[in-house]
Every structure is written in structure tokens, then in C-alpha cells.
Structure 1
Amino acid sequence: MERAQAPRPPARLDHRLRRRRQRRRHGGRAGVGRGTASGPRAVDDEQQDAAARPLAGLLVVDVSRHLPGPLVGRILGDLGARVLKVEEPRSGDPSRQAPPLAGGRSGLATLLLAGHESVALDLKKAPARAVLDRLLERADVLVESFRPGTLARFGLAPQDLRRRHPRLVVCSLSGWGQEGPWAQRSGHDLTYQAVAGSLASRPAMPAVPVADVAGAWSAATAVLAALYRRRRSGEGCWIDQALLDAAGHAYVTGWAGEADGPKAIGEPLPLTGALLGYGLYRTRDGGYLALAALEPKFWRAFCIAVGRRDWIPRILSRDPRLRRELSALIAGRSGEEWAALLAEHDVPGEPLLSAAEARRHPQVKARDLLRDGADGLPRLAYPALFDGRRPRAGERLPPLGADTDAVLAAFDAQPPRRRRGDGIGRRRSLLTYLRGLLLRLLTRRR
């Protein structure tokens, strides 16, 4: 016999109960760690923003460093989660020192950490680890990027954390994965891409750290899947996210290119320069044209537009003489002239823009993905809209450890007697000060 369900409270009361439970769960703060207003206008704004903050009420503790892990926090924070950024007390996340600096602030740190709350904990110290464990009692997600085995040496092995906090989703990012013969090997994005094969067809320095960025998005996706599964099972899980795996997965077109046999290093693939109609070509003004006449209909339209109908059947040609002819043809016009001609004939092709030029592009401006904060440094929003609204996290870049006391008090995580050697709260070293001063001086000279 089915058990009768209790009557559901009225919508307004139900909303209040949810908000009350949320405040209790997150240390008295509802939402995503932002300031709150009062009155009818604030209620309307909150209801309007709800669609663009689907993860509101989720608590993420991020103890990772550098780019991939903090980017996971950035993604979840943009979607409405409250992110507690746990940092080493003396120098904080390395992104804070990443050049270039403007006014003593790193552009990379601003993009990654704005809107988060900074909690300074030295996890090599037992009192600081005890504080972290108290935070994890209420957390939904832990993001970490230590080398495999490091958390275990801290007494925080993912398996132990899962036993102590059964609903916790632990996301471990590492270069090579938690297991395998290279699990303990050092590495960075470039080496993960090198081993994954994603640099093979064009052996050159990549413009985008694909392993780091794709790894972060893969990890965020896995976290959301684990949280969805938890709704049914009540159990969290341990996610093993290798950046090597992410680089390999991002190279989907490369694996497809192996279908007719192995490719040598430097051998172009259809989307890396093998096809005439899909590539970068120099223009008369010294720039580049990104020609993307990939499909037969676009290649035909391009050939008609430039008066070379004889090229139409040669779409798959790899004749170097034909490539030289096409290069000479494109070099005869400026990027703007090509953009106008190709748009007139509905052929995909655009001038290659610098980052500064891209920010001024009318379509980029219309999408409102990137904007400057009050400090003049850029802020990125989530790259998708929810019912016409773009998720966007807070603007504030927290000073290192600025939220330590408030967070510990709200989560009842203050140790009974706090000492300087406990590893709790910011500790500014002379070396850190001098490093920051040197970076600021170098930035000014440039």
C-alpha cells in the first residue's frame, strides 16, 4: 500500500521553509555568498535571477590550485553555487601572482576567483585540517588538485572523506589520473596534450591550454552528474578527473582521422590544414583570413564568388600548386574586403582578431560574456543563457584569507584556542611581499 503524502505547504510558506533550511545549512547565509537586500524589489530580482542561478544553495569547498581546479569552482560559482576558496595562508593560490598584474592584481586570479570567499588554511597543520573537515560536514562538493596520495598524507584520503561525509562529492583533478604507471609523474597542460596526441597534426605551441580547460569542464560536468545521482541514491562519490583524459577526449577529430590508418606527427588532418577551404590565409593588410568553406555548398559558393568555378570539383585536392594559387588570391584583398564579400555570398569566413579586437566586435559585445569590473580587470560570465539570462558570479576578488573569520564563525568551525602556528588565517611572508613588489615593478615597466 502506498503511503499517503503529507499535504504540501502553500507556495509562499514552502519558499520560506526552503530558504530557512538553506540558511541553516550554509552557516546562516542564504544563496551564494553575496550581500542581500530587502523589500519587494529584492524579492522580484531574486525570482528573476533564479533561472540564471540553478545551483543556488550548493556549497563547494575548493582546495585546488593553478588553473583547472579553480576553473571548476568558477563554473559552479557562475551557476549559483557558493564557493569557499581554501588557500595557503602565505601566498594563496598561484594564480594571484600570475602576470600580468594591474594595480597589484592578477588578471587570471580575477577571472578565476571573483565572487568566491577566501579562507586561509595551511593543510599541513592539524588544526587547519580540522577546520576543513568541519566545513566539509556541510559541503556538497570538494574540489582538489593535489598529486595522488597527498590528501591521504594529510589524513584526508578521498575514501575516508566519503566515509565521514557520505553525501559529499569529492572531485580530484590530476594530470595523469589517480592510478597508472605515470600517476606520480609531474606535468603541465603542454605535456598532457603531448602524450594525448592532440598536438601531433600541428606540432606548435597551443593557443589554448586544452587539457586544463577541457579538464575543468569535464570535471564540472561529472560533479553535476554525481549530484543528480545523489538525489536518488543519497550518496556522493569520488570523481577521478585526469587532464590527460580530457585532452584525449577533446581530440575527437584526431581519433576519427586515424580511421584509415595511423597519422605521422605533422601530418595535417581535415580540420588542421589538409583541406583547401578550411584554413588560415594571409591577407593584403598583413592579417589573416579564417576561411571555413568546409561543406561542398560553401566551397562552391566561394569559388563562384571569386570567379574560379574550375576549382569547384577540387574541394578535396591536396595539390600544393592549387594551395599557392588560393593563397595568392586571398593575399590580394584586405580582411575587411574578404569579410564583406564572403558575407554577401553566405560563405563562412572572418578576419582573425586579436583579443582586444574581439572585445570590440559587435556580436561579442551583444552577447555580454566579458565585461570590466570596477577595478578595470575583466570578468567572464557563464558561456550560456538560461531563459535569456546569463549566469554571472560576483565581481569581488577576495583578498587572500579575507573571509576566514566570518566563514569559520558562520560554520561553527573556530578552534577553541587559536594560535599563530595553527595554520589558520593569512600569514604574509617577506618573500611573498618582495615577489609581489617585483612583479608590480616589471608590469609598470612594460
Structure 2
Amino acid sequence: MKPLENVKIIDLSRILSGPYCTMTLADLGAEVIKVEAPSGDDTRKWGPPFVNGESAYFLSVNRNKKSIVLNLKTGEGKEILLKLVKDADVVVENFRPGTLDRLGIGFETLKSVNPGIILASISGYGQTGPYSQKPGYDVIAQGFGGLTSVTGELGKPPVKAGFSVADIGTGMWAVIGIQAALLARSRTGEGQWIDVSLVDTMISWHTYLAGNYFASGKNPEPQGGAHPNIVPYQLFESADGYFNIAVGNENLWARFCTVIDMAELKDHPDYATNSDRVINREKLVPLLQDVFHTKTTKEWVAELEAASIPCGPVLKFSEIFEDPHVLAREQVVEVQHPTAGKVKMTGIPVKLSGTPGEIKSAPPILGQDTREILSSLAGLTDTQIDALERGGVVMAGSVAEIDIV
């Protein structure tokens, strides 16, 4: 069995945070029914790049799911959704707070249909508080939540993270919340409402930066590739690229000084302890940088690794996804999509020895499973489904109907 086998999830989410959450759950065995509006998940149209008309963005976070198209603005659409919820374990959504209530399918309504239902709501600022109605986007959350202010180089404009960490991190919190709620329900029989937000994610991840602020009252500043509490623990430029080192204790520092042929630094009063090095980083780092310009990244990494000093190159994606370790960890997988053909994507990061996850199916085309779901789970006949489709309540997709753009 897969760890989440027999867990049924109704996925009302779109774009990134919710779909990343539900893809993770699907990888671990849950049955995920992706409920889309007739226009489809917004990211189906985000690009280029497209792969035979399919958005690379959409493909990256929607594998292992079934797609049903329901118009939730119609009474029939809501009725069908509630039929699906009756047999479900979890509903995931990332609309603006209050949207489900306005549609008539809020938590109390869902609970009246299924007392054990777990609703996971993902939003920008949370379901409560004075900013709850503000729209939530990753870049806004990174700024409001403080990540942007500590990212980049000192004295230069703030920089957002290179990928959507607020969205993806909140999707991960939702996964954790759902698993905790499923465990709690197994003990109490009761469902509950999970409230996670992009801003809360950013704030919770500050950890030692927040601790430093609480202790000192000083706003943390961007460190570029460096660390505020450890030196040297940062990015350096080599003769042909960049690499990172992490000298996290005095034993490492002693070996490090030997490898770079600067043994005189080991017991130097300005650098002997990490506290000394943090205080005097502005003198030490330029000294080290001059040394590292003398050899290539490959040469420095080899020498440092031979002395068991944590280090690593800064890789481009073309290098990451050809690396033998990455391939051995099955972090590049290939699936067959009905219109895009063979599609590569990242693998499952959680490795379970007894009940491993599995990538069983490619991301669905819009409405690919509408007819099957309405028939098997909602108990509708073909005649009833045809009538709903003519009325604009549902849409049953097929590969033949997809436009290649």
C-alpha cells in the first residue's frame, strides 16, 4: 500500500501552492480529483514554454491527478461537488478567504454533508486578521514577510528568491496540516479546518534571523551568499565559477586553513574563533576571496572535500539534471502525456522504505476524467451527464478536443 492510499482529496486549488500540496499527497498515494472551472487552471495558459500546447508550468505540479470540470457558480455544479465531498476525506482550496462561503460551499456546509471532512485553506494572509481580504501572491508575501529584505547584496536593492518559496512552502505546510488532521481524525472521528498562509510561512521560516532580531533589536541585513552567524559560510568566486563552503566549527576551520595554505590564520587573534571571524568578516572574506581566485571550482571542491570540509559547486540546471547523484536519487522522471508526449519532471523528494510514493500518471488534460467521476462517484448516467454538459455545468474533455497552440 501507498502511505495515503484510500485517502480521497477534492482539489479546488489552482496555480501553485494548492496544486503543489495536492501533487505531493497524490505522489504518496492519495486519490486527487482536481476540480477546475470551465476555463481551467490559470496555469494551463501560462507560457511559453509549452510542450505540444501544454504549459510546462502546469505540467510541473499536476501529475497523479484526475481532472473534472464543474461550474461552481451553478446550483447543479455545487450539488455535484457536495456529492463528491460526501465520500471524500479532504478538500483543498486557495481562493481568497470568504469565497467558498459566498459560493455556498464553505466549511460549515461541507461539514453538514460530511462531518469528518478536512478543509485545507491556503491564502495570502490567512483566514483571520485585518489583512485577510488582501490578495495573496508569492512575490508580495516574500516582501511583506521579510524574505526580500534579507535577500541580495548589502547596499543593493532587495531581491526576491529565485523561485516561489512562499507558494511552495505554504503548500508543504498544508501537506503537514492535512496529515496531522487525518491522524487526529483517526482518534476523534472529527474533521477540522486548516488555515495556512503565505505570509505566515515566510515569518515562520525566519528562525535564527528572527531570533537575532529579538535578541539584538537590529534589523537583519542581506548577506549575499553569506551567513549572519557563521564565517566563512558562503559563496566564493573561483577562477572559472562559484562554489559554497560551510566552515561551521573550529575543527573545520583548522583543516580549512591548511587546505588553502594559510595556516597562519588558524590561531590569529582576529580569526581563531567563529565569533572573532563574524566580527572581522570584512577583513577575512577578501583575504579568502583572493586565494579562491587562484584555482577552478572543480579544483577547490576536490581539495576541500578531500579534507572533509563541507563545500559544493553552484550548478546550472543543465548540470543539475545530468548529475549522477541527482539521477541516482530519481529526481528526474519521465511520464507519457496524452498530448505533450514524453515529459520530464522532478521526482518525489520523500523516500519511504516500506510504502514509497509513486508517479502513476501524467498531469490531466482539462476535464479528462469528468465523465468517469460523474458516473462512478456521483452516480450520474450518460444521459444526465450529456444534459449537464449542454447546460454548461460540466465539461468532459478528450484528447481530440485539445487545441495545440
Amino acid in the other structure paired with 2:368: A
Give deviations 1:327-374, integer Å, cap 9, x for gaps: 111111111101110111111111100122111222111111222223
Indicate yes or no: 2:378 matched with 1:412: yes
Whether contact under 8 Å (1:110, 1:378) holds in the other structure is no
Deviation at 1:260, TM superposition (A): 2.9
Aligned to 1:324: 286
Q: Secondary structure at the match of 2:209?
A: helix
Q: Which residue of the other structure, out of 79, 94, 105, is the alignment partner of 2:42?
A: 94
Whether contact under 8 Å (2:237, 2:293) holds in the other structure is yes
Q: Secondary structure at the match of 2:5?
A: coil
Aligned to 1:366: 328
Identity in percent: 29
Q: Which residue of the other structure, out of 262, 265, 271, is the alignment partner of 2:217?
A: 262
Q: Secondary structure at the match of 2:395?
A: coil
Structure with the largest fraction of helix: 1
Amino acid in the other structure paired with 1:205: K
CA–CA distance in 2 between the matches of 1:253 and 1:101? 40
Q: Which residue of the other structure, out of 198, 202, 205, is the alignment partner of 2:160?
A: 205
Indicate yes or no: 2:13 matched with 1:64: yes
Amino acid in the other structure paired with 2:360: G
Distance 1:124 1:413, change over 3 A: farther
Q: Secondary structure at the match of 2:122?
A: strand
Q: Which residue of the other structure, out of 257, 266, 290, is the alignment partner of 2:244?
A: 290
Deviation at 1:419, TM superposition (A): 4.9
Indicate yes or no: 2:112 matched with 1:158: no
Indicate yes or no: 2:275 matched with 1:305: no
Whether contact under 8 Å (1:77, 1:115) holds in the other structure is yes
Aligned residues, how many?
379
CA–CA distance in 2 between the matches of 1:108 and 1:63? 18
CA–CA distance in 2 between the matches of 1:98 and 1:377? 17
Whether contact under 8 Å (1:192, 1:243) holds in the other structure is yes
Indicate yes or no: 2:73 matched with 1:107: no
Whether contact under 8 Å (2:125, 2:131) holds in the other structure is yes
CA–CA distance in 2 between the matches of 1:262 and 1:376? 53
Indicate yes or no: 2:297 matched with 1:343: no
Whether contact under 8 Å (1:140, 1:168) holds in the other structure is yes
Aligned to 2:317: 355
Aligned to 1:189: 138
Whether contact under 8 Å (1:172, 1:240) holds in the other structure is yes
Indicate yes or no: 2:383 matched with 1:383: no
Which residues of 2 match residues 102-251 of structure 1 at below 5 A?
102-202=51-151, 203-251=158-206
CA–CA distance in 2 between the matches of 1:139 and 1:319? 56
CA–CA distance in 2 between the matches of 1:270 and 1:298? 19
CA–CA distance in 2 between the matches of 1:335 and 1:361? 16
Aligned to 1:4: none
Distance 1:178 1:276, change over 3 A: same
Amino acid in the other structure paired with 2:377: F
Distance 1:380 1:231, change over 3 A: same
CA–CA distance in 1 between the matches of 2:8 and 2:171? 18
Deviation at 1:296, TM superposition (A): 2.0
Aligned to 1:46: none
Give deviations 1:92-140, integer Å, cap 9, x for gaps: 1122223221221222222211121000112112211111111001110
TM-score by length of 1: 0.80
Whether contact under 8 Å (2:225, 2:235) holds in the other structure is no
Whether contact under 8 Å (1:131, 1:414) holds in the other structure is no
Please tell me the root mean square deviation across aligned C-alpha atoms, in Å: 2.2
Indicate yes or no: 2:207 matched with 1:252: yes
CA–CA distance in 2 between the matches of 1:153 and 1:265? 41
Aligned to 1:278: 233
Distance 1:106 1:267, change over 3 A: closer
Moved more, 267-276 or 227-236: 267-276
Distance 1:278 1:77, change over 3 A: same
Deviation at 1:58, TM superposition (A): 0.7
Amino acid in the other structure paired with 2:93: E
Deviation at 1:271, TM superposition (A): 5.8
Whether contact under 8 Å (2:45, 2:55) holds in the other structure is yes
Whether contact under 8 Å (1:214, 1:250) holds in the other structure is no
Whether contact under 8 Å (2:209, 2:220) holds in the other structure is no
Q: Secondary structure at the match of 2:92?
A: strand
Deviation at 1:62, TM superposition (A): 0.1
Amino acid in the other structure paired with 1:307: D
CA–CA distance in 1 between the matches of 2:238 and 2:355? 38
CA–CA distance in 2 between the matches of 1:389 and 1:381? 16
Whether contact under 8 Å (2:100, 2:106) holds in the other structure is yes
Amino acid in the other structure paired with 1:221: I
Give deviations 1:386-440, integer Å, cap 9, x for gaps: 1177412223221100100011000134384425234211589xxx96xx73xxx
Distance 1:108 1:388, change over 3 A: farther
Whether contact under 8 Å (2:136, 2:198) holds in the other structure is no
Whether contact under 8 Å (2:366, 2:397) holds in the other structure is no
TM-score by length of 2: 0.88
Distance 1:214 1:310, change over 3 A: same
Amino acid in the other structure paired with 2:388: R
Distance 1:385 1:135, change over 3 A: same
CA–CA distance in 2 between the matches of 1:404 and 1:427? 7
